[in-house]
Amino acid sequence: MTAVDVQEGMLEEVRRRAQTRDVSNIRFIHAGLGDGALETEYYDRAVLITVLGEIPEREAALQELYDALAPGGILLIEETIRDPHFQTRSTVTALAGAAGFVEETFTGSRFTCTLLFRKPVSDEK
């Protein structure tokens, strides 16, 4: 597993929680998504929970995730209106689609949603 965050304090919180649960297989990367810190076609899954709206360069971040996922890899994005940086389903779908992701499933409403995207097995966008 890999945890990526631009805030060192958030990585420290993940470290603390992992230690209390005896989880030691997490690699920590202090960087922003879109900074190019992730390996290409390395990951099977990526998860963004109520964070997309906080990323200044959302297009670059989603492109980095697309490039970092292996063909067939899955990206899960969850958004809720309780988050001050809430992103609507249409915004999330447009951003992910522009990066090359294909929407697989959607659950939720206009107030909260979980979207599952897949990187195509062939690299055709």
**What residue spans define the domains of the chain?**
1-30, 32-118
- Model pTM? 0.89
pLDDT band (50, 70, 90) for residue 122:
confident
- Residues 85-113 have pLDDT tens digits of 999 999 999 999 999 999 999 999 989 99
CATH code given to domain 32-118:
3.40.50.150
Report the pLDDT value the prediction gives residue 123, as an integer from 0 to 100. Answer: 52
Mark 31-47 as b/e (b = at least 16 C-beta within 10 Å). Answer: ebbbeeebeeeebeebe
d(CA 109, CA 28): 33
pLDDT tens track for 42-58: 999 999 999 999 999 99
Q: What 3-state DSSP class applies to 42? A: coil
- Phi, psi dihedrals of residue 114, rounded to the nearest 5°: -125, 125
92: tokens are: 């999330």
Mean model confidence pLDDT for the chain: 93
